[in-house]
Amino acid sequence: MSLIKKISGLFTKELSSHSIGIGTRQHAVTFCYLPSSGAHICETIEKNKLTSGLRALSRQFKLEGQSHLVLSPEQYKIIQVDKPNVPDEEINAALKWQIRDLVPYSPDNMVVD
Protein backbone atom coordinates (compact mmCIF):
# COMPACT_ATOMS: atom_id res chain seq x y z
CA MET A 1 0.00 0.00 0.00
CA SER A 2 1.35 3.42 -0.92
CA LEU A 3 2.24 6.07 1.65
CA ILE A 4 -0.49 8.39 0.37
CA LYS A 5 -3.18 5.71 0.70
CA LYS A 6 -2.06 4.88 4.26
CA ILE A 7 -2.18 8.51 5.34
CA SER A 8 -5.40 9.49 3.54
CA GLY A 9 -7.34 6.71 5.24
CA LEU A 10 -6.68 8.20 8.66
CA PHE A 11 -8.36 11.58 8.20
CA THR A 12 -11.89 12.78 7.51
CA LYS A 13 -12.93 15.42 5.00
CA GLU A 14 -14.78 17.62 7.54
CA LEU A 15 -13.98 21.33 7.57
CA SER A 16 -11.98 22.65 10.50
CA SER A 17 -9.89 25.67 11.44
CA HIS A 18 -7.05 23.40 12.60
CA SER A 19 -4.08 22.42 10.41
CA ILE A 20 -2.19 19.16 10.12
CA GLY A 21 1.24 19.00 8.48
CA ILE A 22 2.93 15.81 7.39
CA GLY A 23 6.50 15.95 6.09
CA THR A 24 8.17 12.87 4.69
CA ARG A 25 11.85 12.07 5.04
CA GLN A 26 13.90 9.07 3.99
CA HIS A 27 13.27 6.92 7.08
CA ALA A 28 10.64 8.85 9.03
CA VAL A 29 7.60 11.08 8.83
CA THR A 30 7.26 14.28 10.83
CA PHE A 31 3.72 15.04 11.85
CA CYS A 32 2.56 18.43 13.23
CA TYR A 33 -0.87 19.34 14.55
CA LEU A 34 -1.64 23.05 14.82
CA PRO A 35 -4.96 23.66 16.56
CA SER A 36 -6.61 27.05 16.11
CA SER A 37 -5.91 27.71 19.79
CA GLY A 38 -3.37 26.14 22.11
CA ALA A 39 0.08 24.69 21.63
CA HIS A 40 1.12 22.80 18.52
CA ILE A 41 2.25 19.19 18.62
CA CYS A 42 5.07 17.75 16.47
CA GLU A 43 6.11 14.11 16.47
CA THR A 44 8.50 12.10 14.30
CA ILE A 45 7.41 8.57 13.45
CA GLU A 46 9.69 5.95 11.91
CA LYS A 47 8.26 4.76 8.57
CA ASN A 48 8.05 1.13 9.72
CA LYS A 49 5.63 2.30 12.47
CA LEU A 50 3.74 4.86 10.37
CA THR A 51 0.21 3.45 10.40
CA SER A 52 0.16 2.57 14.09
CA GLY A 53 1.91 5.83 15.03
CA LEU A 54 -0.55 8.05 13.15
CA ARG A 55 -3.53 6.13 14.54
CA ALA A 56 -2.18 6.56 18.08
CA LEU A 57 -1.71 10.32 17.56
CA SER A 58 -5.18 10.60 16.04
CA ARG A 59 -6.77 8.90 19.05
CA GLN A 60 -4.66 10.80 21.60
CA PHE A 61 -5.27 14.30 20.23
CA LYS A 62 -8.66 13.94 18.47
CA LEU A 63 -7.09 15.26 15.28
CA GLU A 64 -9.11 17.22 12.79
CA GLY A 65 -8.19 19.84 10.26
CA GLN A 66 -6.93 20.66 6.82
CA SER A 67 -3.96 18.43 5.98
CA HIS A 68 -0.80 19.45 4.14
CA LEU A 69 1.53 16.74 2.86
CA VAL A 70 5.13 17.62 2.01
CA LEU A 71 6.95 14.98 -0.02
CA SER A 72 10.70 14.61 -0.07
CA PRO A 73 12.37 14.84 -3.51
CA GLU A 74 12.82 11.05 -3.65
CA GLN A 75 9.05 10.60 -3.52
CA TYR A 76 7.98 12.55 -6.57
CA LYS A 77 8.99 13.30 -10.10
CA ILE A 78 7.65 16.04 -12.32
CA ILE A 79 7.37 15.19 -16.00
CA GLN A 80 5.66 17.30 -18.65
CA VAL A 81 4.03 15.36 -21.46
CA ASP A 82 1.46 16.10 -24.11
CA LYS A 83 -2.14 15.44 -23.17
CA PRO A 84 -3.21 12.03 -24.49
CA ASN A 85 -5.94 12.07 -27.13
CA VAL A 86 -8.46 10.08 -25.06
CA PRO A 87 -11.79 10.89 -23.36
CA ASP A 88 -11.45 12.95 -20.15
CA GLU A 89 -12.37 10.03 -17.88
CA GLU A 90 -9.44 8.00 -19.29
CA ILE A 91 -6.72 10.67 -19.05
CA ASN A 92 -5.21 9.52 -15.73
CA ALA A 93 -4.92 5.91 -16.88
CA ALA A 94 -3.47 6.99 -20.23
CA LEU A 95 -0.91 9.28 -18.56
CA LYS A 96 0.25 6.47 -16.27
CA TRP A 97 0.74 4.21 -19.29
CA GLN A 98 2.50 7.01 -21.23
CA ILE A 99 5.09 7.73 -18.51
CA ARG A 100 5.54 4.22 -17.04
CA ASP A 101 9.08 3.92 -18.49
CA LEU A 102 10.12 7.42 -17.38
CA VAL A 103 9.59 7.05 -13.62
CA PRO A 104 10.76 4.51 -11.05
CA TYR A 105 7.22 4.03 -9.63
CA SER A 106 4.53 1.46 -10.17
CA PRO A 107 1.47 2.93 -11.92
CA ASP A 108 -0.58 1.89 -8.87
CA ASN A 109 1.48 4.31 -6.73
CA MET A 110 1.34 7.25 -9.16
CA VAL A 111 -0.73 10.37 -8.80
CA VAL A 112 -0.93 12.14 -12.14
CA ASP A 113 -2.37 15.52 -12.97
Distances (CA, A) of 67 to 8, 44, 104: 9, 16, 26
Phi and psi torsions of 76, nearest 5°: -150, 160
pLDDT 10s digits, 49-102: 888 887 887 777 766 677 788 888 877 888 888 988 999 999 988 998 898 888
Give yes or no: residues 85 and 30 share one domain.
no
Structural domains of the chain, count: 2
Read off the CATH number of the domain in which 29 is found.
Answer: 3.30.420
Q: Are residues 9 and 57 in the same domain?
A: yes
In a domain, 35, yes or no: yes
As a whole number, mean pLDDT of residues 6-19 equals 64
Mean predicted lDDT score pLDDT of the chain: 80
pTM: 0.54
Same structural domain, 64 and 83: no
Asked whether residue 46 falls in the same domain as residue 95, the answer is no
pLDDT at residue 71, rounded to an integer = 81
Q: Structural domain of residue 84, as residue ranges?
A: 77-104
Q: Is residue 110 part of a domain?
A: no
Q: Tell me the pLDDT band of 16, cut-offs 50, 70 and 90.
A: low
Helix (H) or strand (E) holding 94: helix 91-99
The reported pLDDT for the residue numbered 87 is: 93
**Residue 40 and residue 12 in one domain:** yes
User: Which amino acid, 12?
Assistant: T
Q: How far apart are CA 20 and CA 69, in angstroms?
A: 9
Residues 43 and 86 in one domain: no
Please check whether residue 28 lies inside any domain of the structure. yes
Handedness of CA 89, 110, 76, 18 (dihedral sign): positive
